[in-house]
Amino acid sequence: MEKERIKSLIISIAKKLSDYDYIKDTVNNERNFINVEGITINPFRELTLSHGIPALCVLYGELNEQYPEEGFDNIGHEYMLKMGRLIEEQGISSLAMFSGASGIGLSAVCLSHNRTRYASFIENINSFIEKLIKKLVLELKSKKDIHMSDYDVIEGLCGVANYCMLFNNDNKMKEALILIVEYIIEICKDKIWDNLVIPGWYIPAENQFLKHDKDLWPNGCFNIGLSHGIPGMLLVLCNSAKLEIKLPNQIETIIKISDFLMKFHIEDDEKNYWGSHISLEEYINNEVNETNSRDAWCYGTPGVAYSLLIAGKSLNKREYIDSSVDAMKKAIKRLNGIYSPTFCHGFSGVAYISKRFYEITNIEYFNEHSVNLINKVLDLYDEKAAFGFYNIEKDNEKTKYYDYIGIIDGVVGILLTILAIENGIKTPWDYAFSLQ
């Protein structure tokens, strides 16, 4: 699809998204609810970056930088005002990137026209984080065992760290980031579990999020997905080091996580890929079983390979770089379980990671395929969809089509990726995904 047609498609969807009543009517329709282990959930939450108004603010911030003559600035400002009113009414429930203060702060930064606006709003969000971070870290350190939401990119401290990295010249935000880096180093130390010495990022069965996961890993497991697992911590450690935050045992922890990922992946002449979790049994036996993981940002090879690429660059370790490049090339060919246009576990996420691989390695293969993948996204445009693109999910061979606006599995994440690959990125929205 040529540039002008893409621009006109994006603008027409963006204009639809300016009608908040239309959005609410759509996302609150029961056909967009999901069923999680017998419980019906409406994913739409107004103050979340994952599914709500902050995602719209991010989109209009990016659109204003891309197409300043289209009036998107005014729409973004209206959503900022709406978000401010909702915060006054409801407060902010957490520090998290996808459901709390960090995502709200990021949305304001993206809409701030390179930090020239919304300074007091951003300062208030930062103060909120600065006040609560020490207590939160102490609480998490005092826990006997970890939950993935303690540390992960979505709900945990890695997401907060990604936001703090936007303010490296602010001493208090830097202190908050240092506290998180210290926490990551601490929880990655070995611990004794049932007379075994294992990495501290082990999650026992009772701390798994879903009953399905408890049943799947009855003796617990190690999460190796970027969204909820150790690649998120690896990226925080590497990206903090780039900002001259270098703490005792930081490099050793980068090596420890990287070596764990290198050890527990499936590799032969044909294959080079990662699954989603390593069971305790696989860890004890020092081998990982064949696994049918999808090739996505959230779980599987693209997210893991990206974290190892960054670790390889950080430590100048060729072994990590070569393995991650080879694995990513194979993932792009394979695209296992990828059929939705969305970011989290769809074509957009793989396309954006491919773009980042090109920017870091200068290997043309990744540039070509980021464009090919975006063409697959554009092929999934459907004028019958409320927002132009569906979030497509498959469940027991049933295909379901959802109308979502958010950054993670909605149209905002799709449009941001199309814009980034067509024109280059203008705002730091990719910090949300640890892909900065």
The annotation places the binding site at: 298, 344-345
Q: How many whole angstroms separate alpha carbon 98 and alpha carbon 434?
A: 12
Give the distance, in angstroms, between the CA of residue 154 and the centroid of all CA atoms in the same chain: 6
Closest among 189, 276, 260, 262 to 226, alpha carbons compared: 276
Within a 10 A sphere around the Cβ of 175, how many other Cβ atoms?
Answer: 13
152's CB contacts (< 8 A; 6+ apart) are 158, 159, 227, 228, 229, 232
Binding-site residue numbers for Zn(2+) are 298, 344-345
Q: Phi first, then psi: what are they for 248, rounded to 5°?
A: -55, 135
Exposed, middle or buried by CB within 10 Å (0-12, 13-18, 19+), for 285?
Answer: exposed
Q: How many whole angstroms separate alpha carbon 376 and alpha carbon 280?
A: 38
Q: How many whole angstroms separate alpha carbon 432 and alpha carbon 49?
A: 9
DSSP-derived letter for residue 223 is E
Q: How many whole angstroms separate alpha carbon 348 and alpha carbon 331?
A: 14
Supply 73's token pair: 């600035």
Q: Are 103 and 96 in contact (CB under 8 A)?
A: yes
27's CB contacts (< 8 A; 6+ apart) are 42, 44, 51, 403, 404, 405
Q: How many whole angstroms separate alpha carbon 158 and alpha carbon 434?
A: 8
79's CB contacts (< 8 A; 6+ apart) are 20, 53, 56, 57, 60
